[in-house]
């Protein structure tokens, strides 16, 4: 699944913040709370998307040609 462009609950645009959050938390090891505060995310519904998202796109993309054959 891809990260949502908008918060499902309130509709705020959050998709453009994912790369910055991912870089700060997963690559630099910073505290997620501090990063979310810096990004200006105050609502818990928006923060939830960042805290629970798991990027499985690369793992699923491996099986694309097995499920849906590529057109020649």
Q: Is the pTM higher than 0.85?
A: no
- Specify which residues 13 forms β-bridges with: 6
pLDDT 10s digits, 25-39: 999 999 999 999 999
Dihedrals phi, psi of 56, to nearest 5 degrees:
-115, 10
Q: How confident is the model at residue 62 (pLDDT cuts 50, 70, 90)?
A: confident
Count, in order, helices (H) and strands (E) of the chain: 5, 0
Q: With pLDDT > 90 as the criterion, what percentage of the chain qualifies?
A: 67
- Can you list the domains of the chain with their CATH numbers? 15-67 (1.10.10.60)
Question: What is the pLDDT at residue 65?
Answer: 65
Q: How confident is the model at residue 69 (pLDDT cuts 50, 70, 90)?
A: low
């Amino acid at each position: 699944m891809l990260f949502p462009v908008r918060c499902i609950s309130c509709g705020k645009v959050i998709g453009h913040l994912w790369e910055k959050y991912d870089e700060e938390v997963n690559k630099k090891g910073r505290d997620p709370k501090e990063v979310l505060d810096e990004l200006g995310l105050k609502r818990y519904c928006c923060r939830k998307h960042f805290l629970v998202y798991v990027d499985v796109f690369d793992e699923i993309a491996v099986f694309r040609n097995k499920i849906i054959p590529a057109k020649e």
